Structure 1
Amino acid sequence: MHVDWKPYAATLATEATHPGSQWWAPVTATPRHIFVPRWYAPGGGGWTTVDGPADEETWLKTAYSDTTLVTRVGSTHADHTPGGHLVTGNPTSSSTLPGLVVSMLEHGRITPSHRLLDLATGSGYSAALACHLLGDKQVTTMDIDPYLTEAASDRLDFIGRHPDVFTGDAIGELPGDFDRIVSMVSVPRIPATWLRALAPGGRLVTTIAGTGLILTADKTPDGGATGRVEWDRAAFMTTRTGDDYPPLLDKLFTTASTDDGEVSLSPFPVLDVMQAWEVWSMLSLTAPGIEHRNGTDDDGARMTWMLHPDGSWARARTAPGEHTATVHQGGPRRLYDILDTIRRRWLEHGELPVYGAKVTVTPDGETTLTRGGWKATL
């Protein structure tokens, strides 16, 4: 089937990059629709499979929009479910919005002489862009999912791109030495294996798990790295070792929804933490692993829940017209108190120290962020 995709790719380039960028030509020349023939659209209490070739216009408009397309939910890939089929679960792979892919590659300060490791192959689109700029022999891409690497390899081959494609754990041993490592998957801290695989003076780019922080760092002579948290933001799925992420804390959510626990009054209204990037990032660095849920009570009150695998929980409610929150908390830690402390600092200083922080990484991967008098070690 002949598909006239180039005008769509040209339009995408105006959204994802700019004519002066070295990534303009790769975006205009790469057929993204080849990498996402099927995807999941949210709705109906889950995710519905969309079959691109069944509706060419929708396929092209969607594939060449600057949008993330979910391609895997739980352990099920969209390629393996019929169009219109509903699945439930959490996204476990996607074709990241091209603008963010380009941004991450730009943070890598990549030149045509560099050997690049593209971590988290996903659909293969980022590897395709890199091959256009660097040449196939300079690009290696890697993902933990054998089907993803197989499908991406086939689709790359179809458009005439042939990077090295590996299946493996992103935080395990890496397949070679590289001048640049750009990760489209989040990590809790910089793995020591990345530093060992990074050439002298090499550069790495990643996001920190559970935050909106992009971290860039250049390798130092001692085998560690130094850099900073960039001022722009991004969030990716975190590394996983199996087919799916751990199950959600539904049992603890039931407890947090019904128990009174310890009751207090917060001076701040309920906040959707995941949409407040500075607060979310600072909270995740202070108390990693919190699961956030939001909702609305029958009377229109805003509700939020905080759940942690250690058994800590919090529930807060702001009634219509109110500017405070009634808080219930239980478990070993008072999660909402931690959040309120961060919000007070946010109001007092007008910002939080996470963005723009200096990054220091030891050769064994211990990652420390500092700014002003603030310090966090991952």
Structure 2
Amino acid sequence: MLTLGELWEGHRLLDVGTGTGYSSALACARLGDSAVTTVDVDRYLTESAASRLVSIGRRPMVVTQDATEELPDEYDRIVSMVSVPRIPASWLSALRPGGRLVTTIAETGLILTADKTDDGGASGRIEWDRAAFMQTRSGADYPPQLDGLFQKIRDQEGEGFAVSPFPVLDVMQAWEVWSALTLHAPGIEHRTGVDDDGTRTSWMLHLDGSWARAETMPGARTSTVHQGGPRRLYDVLDQIRWYWVENGELPVYGARAAIAPDGTTTLSRGGWTLTL
């Protein structure tokens, strides 16, 4: 991520997501301590990282705050070690003319790099490389997983039944599919399992109550699908997989990114376009 940030002498860097302080230490070695600010919403992490950095002779500015809110200074580079659903407007406001930002899109394996434009927005692309980080948060902790919904629908027949032409897929391990699915239907929680007889099962859960369960029997190349709730999540997944079969790839990696000053981000590649 720091390499993609193209850090050069004289740059001021905001390192978003302090964590252990590792990326801040690397940045300090590259730019000098006074040129690096690191921010995290978790006071325990910032205090621990600050102490750890001092122990190795590094003293960047360490700030405890929500990184999506107004930032304490202006920067030539903003490199985030946490993901965002879209670019915060505060980052664009704090980015100096000609500045560069690097981050990942939440719940995807997509790295977005962009350079600030004269209108206060930014222009860039989704890199061909891939990475995934925890999402930024504003409160003390992340929201709970959908365990209640999972237990309720684990073996339900559902309101809709279909046969998918594809076998069950571990979506979280298929980064291209996972990323495309998240862009089109964000917020899906994925779970998988294998029965004693070798039957593979996947579940898709969403906070709005939508869910899907797909099963592929040993030796089968199709899957039976049960779905419920207000949306048919597995239909969206199948549409993405059909696109992949028909086009040989998905358009997410290598897509151009146009970012408005308010953070609205439009991705495009070929005839495909999507706005976050």
| TM-score, length basis structure 2 | 0.98
Flag the structure with more relative contact order, 1 or 2, with Cα contacts below 8 A and sequence separation at least 6: 2
In the TM superposition, what is the alpha-carbon distance from 1:255 to its structure 2 partner? 2.6
Are 1:294 and 2:197 matched, yes or no?
Answer: no
Which moved further from structure 2: 145-154 or 195-204?
Answer: 145-154
CA–CA distance in 1 between the matches of 2:179 and 2:143?
Answer: 21
Structure 1 stretches of 4+ with a deviation exceeding 4 A read none
More helix by share: 1
Contact 2:7 2:30 in 1 (8 A): no
* Aligned 1:98-109 pairs, distance under 5 A: 104-109=1-6
CA contact (8 A) 1:228 1:356 kept: yes
1:241 to 132, 135, 138: 138
Equivalent-residue separation in structure 1 for 2:222 and 2:33 (angstroms): 57
1:311 corresponds to 2:209: yes
Structure 2: distance between partners of 1:169 and 1:126? 18
In the other structure, the counterpart of 1:216 is 113
Q: Who is 1:159 aligned against? A: 56
Any idea what SS the aligned residue of 2:84 has?
A: coil
Distance in 2 (alpha carbons) for counterparts of 1:284 and 1:325? 21
From 345, 348, 367, the equivalent of 2:246 is 348
Matched, 1:252 2:119: no
SS in structure 2 of the partner of residue 329 of structure 1:
strand
Q: Work out the CA distance in 1 between the residues paired with 2:235 and 2:201.
A: 16
Deviations 1:203-246 (CA, angstroms, capped at 9, x unpaired): 00000001000000000010000000000000000011222211
SS at match of 2:151: helix
**1:134 is the counterpart of 2:31:** yes
Determine if contact 1:256/1:305 at 8 Å carries over to the other structure.
no
CA distance in 2, matches of 1:175, 1:274: 36
CA contact under 8 A between 1:201 and 1:220: conserved in structure 2?
yes
Aligned pair partner of 1:272 in 152, 161, 170: 170
What are the Cα deviations for residues 270-307 of structure 1, in whole angstroms up to 9, with x where unaligned? 00000101100000000000000000123210010000
1:169 — aligned with what?
66
Q: Which residue of 2 aligns with 1:228?
A: 125
Return the alpha-carbon distance in structure 2 between the equivalents of residues 170 and 256 of structure 1. Answer: 36
Aligned length: 275
| Counterpart residue number, 1:361 | 259
- 1:159 & 1:324 partners in 2: Cα distance? 56
SS at 2:14 equivalent: strand
Paired with 1:281 and 1:266, the residues of 2 have a C-alpha distance of 20
Report the RMSD for the aligned CA atoms in angstroms.
0.7
In structure 1, stretches of 5+ residues that fail to align are 1-103
User: Separation in 1 of the partners of 2:32 and 2:200?
Assistant: 52
**Partner secondary structure for residue 202 of structure 2:** strand
% identical aligned pairs: 69
Once the two structures are superposed, the pairs formed by residues 38-57 of structure 1 within 5 Å of their partners are: none
Q: Which residue of 1 is the match for residue 225 of structure 2?
A: 327
Q: Does the 8 Å CA contact 1:116/1:178 hold for their aligned counterparts?
A: yes
1:40-81 CA-to-partner distances (Å, cap 9, x unmatched) read xxxxxxxxxxxxxxxxxxxxxxxxxxxxxxxxxxxxxxxxxx
Instruction: Compute the displacement of 1:166 (Å).
Output: 0.2
Structure 2 unmatched runs, 5+ = none
State the match for 1:178 in structure 2: 75
